[in-house]
Structure 1
Amino acid sequence: MRFAMASSINIKNGLLTTKNSLHIKIPYPTFKQRPTEIKCSRALTTGQHNEQYCIDVVRKRDYEGFLCSLLFPEAVRRSALALTAFNVELAQIKDSVSQKTIGLMRMQFWKSAVEDIYRDDHPAQPVSAELWRAVRKHTLTRRWMLRIISEREKDLEDKAYRNLQELEDYGENTQSSLLYLLLETLGVKNVHADHAASHIGKAQGILTCLRATPYNSSRRKVYLPMDICMLHGASQEDFIRGSRDQNVRDVIYDIASQAHVHLQHARSFSENVPQAAMPAFLQTVSNFISFSSSPLPTPH
């Protein structure tokens, strides 16, 4: 319809009126966002927050693990960070609680979280949410996660290891279990890689205990294997007062030597370990370099 004069047109209350009293309804435009679009945008925002939370936790609490995670293939990097953040969260419980009961409650929270993840019940906690995503993407084994939690729970007893075997078991159940999960994110299913991961985890567990000895001693706590200490006549008080006597050096040397034995065993599988598995073992390099940068005690 054409109108001869613009002055003959009037718009009022959403109606276009001409001088001939012709009324044409002009609807006001409205814009609606579909519920699915709203849900997707929120999920994206939440997912980004959860990912950043894991990055921050790992960067702050396990900087070596953070640097190594950056070298993972992009397709699995987010999952690797989630697993490392999970391990960090568990590891810091012991030092962050004043009572064992509180620590046990936190461990129970993580046990329940893992069970919820495998029931496909999307958790709200950021690390748990990222684990849920990693499990769905890579079909990760629940047993390894629960084994890490159980071993960390036993560690709340706050006692020295009775012997070197107990310390090796600790490394196997924590560090090796984490490596098995990282191998799964990389899609590696290889018996030689698993054997290497077992020995590397034990070596890392031993080194972690050694590297933490000065800090623990400053808090009047010594966790070094008692059988090795007794063998060389070194008491816990020797470590607490920072003794550098030969018997203390012998204890450190014997324990470090066992870590080196496990490292050598791991290296013996190198020719049969798929190249795709290598990112999972990168932190071994940084751990051993950091430890070897300080002078190793010599035996008698």
Structure 2
Amino acid sequence: MAASALAAGLGPLRLGPSRGLRGRAVPRGPSAHGRGLPAPVVLGRSATACSRTEAPGSDLYCVELLRKRDYEGYLCCLLLPAEARSSAFALRAFNVELAQVKDSISQKTIGQMRMQFWKKAVEDIYSDSPPHQPVAIELWKAVKRHNLTKRWLMKIIDEREKNLDDKAYRNIKELETYAENTQSSLLYLTLEVLGVRDLHADHAASHIGKAQGIVTCLRATPYHISRRKVFLPMDICMLHSVSQEDFLRKNQDKNLRDVIYDIASQGHLHLKHARSFQKSVPVKAFPAFLLTVALDDYLEKIQRVDFDVFHPRLQQKNTLLALHLYIRSWKKRY
């Protein structure tokens, strides 16, 4: 069943098993939550009963949103158990809605208004009166179905709102905190959807979320540079005497690559820590961590191009990602 579901979503992207970090060796992987796709924010009506007749296609809206804006997450959701799939799509669609706010606004106040909408939406969801908005309706169903922890949803919103400021991370710790409150929180919720509430699984999720945040920051660098912005941790840039202007000019010198190497190595380290819990993590939790396949893929690719974050090869889709995800799922590993 998982194979047939995945076959329907076969498309470009990336993957592969990780290798050890030896010398300047790193593994691989990505994840990008795209921009665009304006959110149909309707503040008025409540969907208290929220039956399918009231919100036709809300589930399909979430699936399509993911397919277009978070393809790797889309493929991973297809490999989840059938009873968890729709809720996972809802959670990831919620994450995409929030992630694309920053790139779709011209003023911070507009972004804050959208975040306020989602804060109220979550409050209303837990009051059993969600707004008539496709993602909110599906999220409401997921909350009712799995008794999801409200705190994780609010953490994602709060952290995304803080990140509306166009400022570089002061240090790698600040980037990791952002990743913990967004990506790791999303993984905690996915574990709840799978019926897993386990300390070891939470530890693994924390490290995988941080690795995903780091990889996402690296992957998004060329896009940010095209908009004359640099968000890489300033402490690592300063350590190697690299300025934001060096990145904006796309310099190819060793110091700039050393910055990328240090950041990528930190991502690899988090994946290594996550896998150290593998024997203690319930097998039931493994599907939540399938995105490590994509993270491994990016880290290995950037190693092969000697940590040139602007190399065209990093922008190429891995057409075998779906297959590699299925193999990793079948092997019950992460």
TM over 0.5: yes
Code of the residue aligned with 1:226 in structure 2: it is M
Query: 2:85 is matched with which residue?
Result: 77
Report how many residues are paired.
258
| Structure-to-structure mapping, 1:1-300, within 5 angstroms | 43-294=51-302, 295=304, 297=306
Q: Unaligned 5+ residue runs, structure 1?
A: 1-41
| CA displacement 1:76-126 (0-9 Å, x = unmatched) | 100000000000000000000011010000000000000000111132111
For the residues of structure 1 that align with 2:57 and 2:166, how far apart are their CA atoms? 34
Shift of 1:279: 1.0
Shift of 1:159: 0.1
Whose RCO is larger (CA < 8 A, sep 6+)? 2
1:193–1:274 CA contact under 8 A, matched in 2: yes
For the residues of structure 1 that align with 2:255 and 2:52, how far apart are their CA atoms? 58
Which range is displaced more, 182-191 or 288-297? 288-297
Which range is displaced more, 60-69 or 118-127? 118-127
What TM-score comes out, normalization by structure 2 length? 0.75
| CA displacement 1:136-165 (0-9 Å, x = unmatched) | 000000000000001100100110000010
For the residues of structure 1 that align with 2:65 and 2:179, how far apart are their CA atoms? 22
For the residues of structure 2 that align with 1:291 and 1:298, how far apart are their CA atoms? 9
Identity %: 66
For the residues of structure 2 that align with 1:117 and 1:219, how far apart are their CA atoms? 36
What TM-score comes out, normalization by structure 1 length? 0.84
| CA displacement 1:252-296 (0-9 Å, x = unmatched) | 000111111111100000001111101110112113213422425
Which structure has greater helix proportion? 1
| CA displacement 1:188-241 (0-9 Å, x = unmatched) | 011000000000011110110011111101111000000000000001111111
Q: Unaligned 5+ residue runs, structure 2?
A: 1-49, 309-334
Moved over 4 A (4+): none
Q: Quick one: structure 1 residues 199 and 274, their matched pair in 2 at CA, closer, same or farther if it must change by over 3 Å?
A: same
Q: Quick one: structure 1 residues 47 and 287, their matched pair in 2 at CA, closer, same or farther if it must change by over 3 Å?
A: farther
For the residues of structure 2 that align with 1:291 and 1:57, how far apart are their CA atoms? 26
Query: 2:10 is matched with which residue?
Result: none
**Structure of larger gyration radius:** 1
Query: 2:4 is matched with which residue?
Result: none
For the residues of structure 2 that align with 1:242 and 1:153, how far apart are their CA atoms? 29
For the residues of structure 2 that align with 1:228 and 1:130, how far apart are their CA atoms? 41
For the residues of structure 1 that align with 2:85 and 2:301, how far apart are their CA atoms? 29
1:123–1:132 CA contact under 8 A, matched in 2: no
